[in-house]
Structures are given as C-alpha cells and as structure tokens.
Amino acid sequence: MSGAVLAQGTRLTYASYLELDRVLDAQRPRSRGHDEMMFIVVHQIYELWFKLLLHELTGLQERLEAGDSGPALHTLRRGVAVLQVAVDQMDVMDTLTPAQFAGFRHCLGSASGAQSAQFRELEAVLGARDRTALDHYEEGGPERLSIEAAMNRPSVLDSYLRYLSLQGYPVPPEVLRRNPALPFEATQEVREVLVQVNRDDLVPAQVVEGLLDLDQLLQEWRYRHSKMVQRMIGGRRGTGGTSGADHLRATAATAAFPVLWEVRGA
C-alpha cells in the first residue's frame, strides 16, 4: 500500500487497499470546461498503464535471463494485453472535438505529453538509445535519472538474446557482452540465429511473436496518438512548444525491434 500502514484495529477495505481517497482526489481541472476532466483522467490512466508495463517488462527480462520459457511467455502475454488496452483507450480521446479542447487548452501551459518520463523509460527498456529524449528533463532530476538508468541497462532484446544462448543457440559472446548503453546493431551472425529460431518454430519463436505483438501495438499507439492530435489541433504546434501531429506521424512507424522484422520470411 505504498508504504502506508493502517492504524491498529483498522479494517482493511476496498477503498483503503486501493488508496482511492488519493487516487480519486488527483483530478484537478484548471478550467470550467466539462471536457477537461476526461482529458485528465485518460492521461492519468495512461501513466498507470505505463507503470504496469514497466513492471511487467522488468519481470519479462528477469524470466528471459533465467531461461524460464513458460513464465516469460505468460508475462509477455500480459504486457501485450495491457498495451492493447492502452491503444483501445484512444477511442475515448477521439471523442474530444477541437472546440472542446480549445475550451481548456490554455490551461495546459507548457505541459506536453512529450514530457511523459514513463513513456520515455518504456522506450528505453525496449531498446531506444536516443539521448536527445533526455532534454525534456532536469539534469540530475529523478525522471531523467530513471530514463538514463534504463538506457544504460540491457534492453528487452539483449535479454532475449541471452535467453536464446541459454536455449543452445549460438549467439556470439561479444553480442552477449556488448555495452547496453549503445544502440543495438545486428550482426549477420545474430540475423542467422534469429532466422534459425523462426525456422525451428519452437518456444523461442513464440517469444519472438510476443515481442512483435508488443512492437506492433506500440507503433499502433503512436499512430493513434498522432491522429488524435491531428483531430484536435490540425497542423498547429502542440503544447509545450512541440511540433504537434507532424512529429508524431514521423515517429509512428519506428520499430522497437527492427532486426526481428528484418528476418521475417528469411
């Protein structure tokens, strides 16, 4: 319960277990616009999904690096299910018209979705190593430190290659020992291993399918996000000085695991 301790003799309830007094008091609209409440709630829920995804991906990496195929697949399926809900949640945001958004947009000030530290951390866990993403965060601040730490740790793909090594596949030792702070560059030897995984079509290939499900859903989320922004503000600049829908569209097709796509059908 986030470190909270109930007083002796206090009965644990649904509300106290979930700390609903804090959760339901966290929505503070800054305008009188009816639609701002929805905007706040949806974005808060996104942050909760991102938190759960980070938790599940940590568990996935632990299970992969231990060679535990069954638990890894189960954790991966849960992560895919969470991300699918996050994509579907965009349907709610699509009900916001330009006029409704204009009714409270001025209250957002310099706040922007591009500042979501958890989403940046999620990208880093999946393998992104774009250090310019850190520019949105204060030097030495907790958000920046969390993203930097994720960029310096092995990614999900690194953990999967270690898993393949435990399953007997000839992953080159230098790949297993690579500096995880650097962008992943697939070698021909790694491609050949992944081709063999696909041809064998065993449990390691099922893990690949789950990773591609994650990757595809993340691309779909980015695309839906870009179209949602376009519906609300068209081609205008976004809040916080961001470039708005144009930038989001440009990144929508960015793959988390490009090498897994490259070897399909080989």
* Exposure on the CB side of residue 125, measured as CA atoms within 13 A: 23
Tell me the binding residues.
Answer: 39-43, 105, 225, 239
For residue 244, give every residue at least 6 positions away whose Cβ sits within 8 Å of its Cβ, in sequence order, or none: 229, 233, 235, 236, 237, 238
Paired tokens of 229: 């922004």
Torsional sign, CA 235, 241, 246, 252: negative
CB 35 within 8 A of CB 101: yes
For residue 165, give every residue at least 6 positions away whose Cβ sits within 8 Å of its Cβ, in sequence order, or none: 171, 176
Cα separation, 32 vs 22, in Å, equals 22
Closest CA to 150 of 122, 130, 176: 122
Tell me the binding residues for substrate.
Answer: 39-43, 105, 239
CB 244 within 8 A of CB 229: yes
Cα separation, 107 vs 110, in Å, equals 9
Cα separation, 130 vs 119, in Å, equals 13
Three-class secondary structure of residue 242 per DSSP:
coil
Tell me the binding residues for heme.
Answer: 225
Paired tokens of 243: 């470039």
* Identity of the amino acid at 256: A
